[in-house]
Chain A
Amino acid sequence: MLGWEFPPFFAGGLGIVCYEMTKIFAKRSDIDELIYLMPYGPKDHESHINLKGANQLLDEYKKKLTKEQQKVLEKVNIKFIPTLISSPYMSPSEYQESYKETKKNINFNKLHWQDIDLLNDVDDKKNTNFHDQKTARNILYGGNIFEEVFRFAKRVAYVTRNMNFDIIHAHDWMTMPAAIAAKKMSKKPLVVHIHNTIYDRYLGTGGFDEKELEIQGMNEADTVIAISNMVKNTLVEKYQIPEQKIEVIHNAATQLDEKRYDHMNTFEGKKIILFAGRLTMQKGGDYFVRAAERVVKYCPDTVFVVAGTGDQLGRMMDLASELNILKYFYFHGFYTLQERDVFFGMADLFVMPSISEPFGIVPLEAMAKRTPTIISFQSGISEILQNTFKVNFWDVDMLAEKMVCLLKYKEMHSQISDSGYHECKSKTWDEPVDKMINVYKKLTGDNNG
Chain B
Amino acid sequence: MVSICFYFHVHQPHRIGHYRIFDVGENKEYFDDKKNKEIIEKITGKCYLPMNNLLLKLINKHKGKFKVSFSITGTFIEQLEEFAPEVLDSFKKLAKTGCVEFVSETYYHSLSFLYSKKEFVKQVKMQEKLLNKHFKVKPKVFRNTELIFNNELAKFIEEMGYEGILCEGADRIMKWKSPDFVYGNVYAKKIKLLTKNYKLSDDIAFRFSNKGWEHHPLSVEKYVKWLNKVNGNGNVINLFMDYETFGEHQWEDTGIFKFMEKLPEELLKNKDNNFVTVSEALKYPKMGDLDMHDYVSWADTERDLTAWIGNKIQDTSLKELYALEKYVYATKNKKIIDDWRKLTTSDHFYYMCTKYFNDGDVHKYFSPYDSPYDAYINFMNVLNDLVLRIKKQIDIKKIGKNEVKLINKESGELIEISEKPSSLI
Closest 9 CB pairs of A and B: A411-B316, A415-B312, A411-B312, A405-B377, A415-B313, A412-B313, A401-B20, A404-B21, A419-B354
Question: Closest Cβ of chain B: how far from A154's Cβ, in Å?
Answer: 49
- By the criterion CB–CB under 8 Å, are B354 and A401 in contact? no
Question: Closest Cβ of chain A: how far from B261's Cβ, in Å?
Answer: 41
B290-315 Cβ-contact flags toward A at 8 Å (1 or 0): 00000000000000000000011101
A430-449 Cβ-contact flags toward B at 8 Å (1 or 0): 00000000000000000000
B333-365 Cβ-contact flags toward A at 8 Å (1 or 0): 000000000000000000000101000100000
| Interface range, A side | 20 to 34
Question: Closest Cβ of chain B: how far from A313's Cβ, in Å?
Answer: 29
Q: Is B81 part of the contact surface with A, judged by Cβ < 8 Å? A: no
Contacts of A409 in B (CB 8 A): 313, 316, 376-377, 380
Q: For A423, give the chain B residue with the smallest CB separation.
A: B356
Could you show 17 A-B contacts with beta carbons less than 8 Å apart? A386-B360, A387-B354, A390-B370, A390-B371, A401-B21, A401-B22, A405-B381, A409-B316, A411-B313, A412-B313, A412-B316, A412-B376, A412-B377, A415-B373, A418-B312, A419-B311, A419-B354
Q: Is A408 part of the contact surface with B, judged by Cβ < 8 Å? A: yes
Number of interface residues of B (CB under 8 A): 19
Q: Is B86 part of the contact surface with A, judged by Cβ < 8 Å? A: no
- By the criterion CB–CB under 8 Å, are B22 and A389 in contact? no
Q: Is B89 part of the contact surface with A, judged by Cβ < 8 Å? A: no
**Pick from B312, B370, B374: contact of A414, CB under 8 Å:** B312
Q: Considering the chains assembled together, what is the distance between the CA atoms of A84 and B311 in angstroms?
A: 58
Contacts of A397 in B (CB 8 A): 20, 22
- By the criterion CB–CB under 8 Å, are A389 and B371 in contact? yes
Contacts of A279 in B (CB 8 A): none
Q: Considering the chains assembled together, what is the distance between the CA atoms of A418 and B311 in angstroms?
A: 10
Q: For A403, give the chain B residue with the smallest CB separation.
A: B21
- By the criterion CB–CB under 8 Å, are A416 and B373 in contact? yes
- The B interface, classified by DSSP as helix, strand, loop or mixed, is helix
Q: Considering the chains assembled together, what is the distance between the CA atoms of A19 and B335 in angstroms?
A: 61
Q: Is A165 part of the contact surface with B, judged by Cβ < 8 Å? A: no
Contacts of A412 in B (CB 8 A): 312-313, 316, 373, 376-377, 380
17 further contact pairs, Cβ within 8 A, besides A412-B377, A414-B312, A415-B354: A294-B22, A298-B21, A386-B356, A386-B371, A390-B370, A390-B371, A402-B377, A404-B21, A405-B381, A408-B21, A409-B316, A409-B376, A411-B315, A412-B312, A412-B313, A419-B311, A419-B354
Q: For B22, give the chain A residue with the smallest CB separation.
A: A401
Q: For A416, give the chain B residue with the smallest CB separation.
A: B373
Contact residues, B228-284 vs A (CB, 8 A) = none
Q: Considering the chains assembled together, what is the distance between the CA atoms of A390 and B376 in angstroms?
A: 15
Contact residues, B128-156 vs A (CB, 8 A) = none
Contacts of B371 in A (CB 8 A): 386-390
Contacts of A419 in B (CB 8 A): 311, 354
Question: Closest Cβ of chain A: how far from B357's Cβ, in Å?
Answer: 8
Contacts of A389 in B (CB 8 A): 371, 373-374
Contacts of A405 in B (CB 8 A): 21, 377, 380-381
Contacts of B315 in A (CB 8 A): 411
Contact residues, B175-219 vs A (CB, 8 A) = none
Q: Considering the chains assembled together, what is the distance between the CA atoms of A389 and B370 in angstroms?
A: 9
Q: Considering the chains assembled together, what is the distance between the CA atoms of A386 and B363 in angstroms?
A: 13
Q: Considering the chains assembled together, what is the distance between the CA atoms of A384 and B373 in angstroms?
A: 16
Q: Considering the chains assembled together, what is the distance between the CA atoms of A3 and B354 in angstroms?
A: 39
Q: Considering the chains assembled together, what is the distance between the CA atoms of A133 and B315 in angstroms?
A: 48
Question: Closest Cβ of chain B: how far from A95's Cβ, in Å?
Answer: 50
Contacts of B381 in A (CB 8 A): 405
Contacts of B22 in A (CB 8 A): 294, 397, 401
Question: Closest Cβ of chain A: how far from B290's Cβ, in Å?
Answer: 35
Q: Considering the chains assembled together, what is the distance between the CA atoms of A401 and B370 in angstroms?
A: 15
Contacts of A387 in B (CB 8 A): 354, 371, 373
Contact residues, B15-61 vs A (CB, 8 A) = 20-22
Contacts of A411 in B (CB 8 A): 312-313, 315-316
Q: Considering the chains assembled together, what is the distance between the CA atoms of A390 and B371 in angstroms?
A: 9
Question: Closest Cβ of chain B: how far from A301's Cβ, in Å?
Answer: 16
Contacts of B373 in A (CB 8 A): 387, 389, 412, 415-416
Q: For B381, give the chain A residue with the smallest CB separation.
A: A405
A392-412 Cβ-contact flags toward B at 8 Å (1 or 0): 000001000110110011011
Contact residues, B365-403 vs A (CB, 8 A) = 370-371, 373-374, 376-377, 380-381
Question: Closest Cβ of chain B: how far from A395's Cβ, in Å?
Answer: 11
Question: Closest Cβ of chain A: how far from B251's Cβ, in Å?
Answer: 27
Contacts of B21 in A (CB 8 A): 298, 401, 404-405, 408
Contacts of B20 in A (CB 8 A): 397, 401
Question: Closest Cβ of chain B: how far from A371's Cβ, in Å?
Answer: 15
B83-119 Cβ-contact flags toward A at 8 Å (1 or 0): 0000000000000000000000000000000000000
Q: Considering the chains assembled together, what is the distance between the CA atoms of A323 and B311 in angstroms?
A: 39
A330-356 Cβ-contact flags toward B at 8 Å (1 or 0): 000000000000000000000000000
Contacts of A390 in B (CB 8 A): 370-371
Question: Closest Cβ of chain A: how far from B159's Cβ, in Å?
Answer: 35
Question: Closest Cβ of chain A: how far from B25's Cβ, in Å?
Answer: 12
Contacts of A418 in B (CB 8 A): 312
Q: Considering the chains assembled together, what is the distance between the CA atoms of A332 and B393 in angstroms?
A: 49
User: Which residue, of B20, B21, B315, has the highest number of chain A Cβ atoms within 10 A?
Assistant: B21
Q: For B360, give the chain A residue with the smallest CB separation.
A: A386
Contacts of B374 in A (CB 8 A): 389
Q: Considering the chains assembled together, what is the distance between the CA atoms of A387 and B313 in angstroms?
A: 13
Q: Considering the chains assembled together, what is the distance between the CA atoms of A415 and B310 in angstroms?
A: 11
Contact residues, A346-399 vs B (CB, 8 A) = 386-390, 397
